[in-house]
Amino acid sequence: MKMTKAEFQGLLDKYLNGLASAEETKLLDQFFDSYREKPGDSAEIDEKVKEEILQKIQQRVGER
Report yes or no: 35 and 50 within 8 Å, Cβ to Cβ: no
Mind listing the pLDDT tens digit for each residue in 27-41?
Answer: 888 888 776 655 555
Provide the pLDDT confidence category of residue 43 given band limits of 50, 70 and 90: low
DSSP 8-state assignment for residue 35: H
Could you give the percent of the chain with pLDDT greater than 70?
77
Report yes or no: 11 and 28 within 8 Å, Cβ to Cβ: yes
pTM of the model: 0.53
Q: Is the pLDDT of residue 56 over 70?
A: yes
User: How far is residue 26's CA from residue 40's CA, in Å, rounded to a whole number?
Assistant: 23
Domain boundaries defined on the chain: 26-64
- Tell which wins on pLDDT, 62 or 63: 62
User: How far is residue 57's CA from residue 62's CA, in Å, rounded to a whole number?
Assistant: 8
Q: What are phi and psi of 20, to 5 degrees?
A: -75, 140
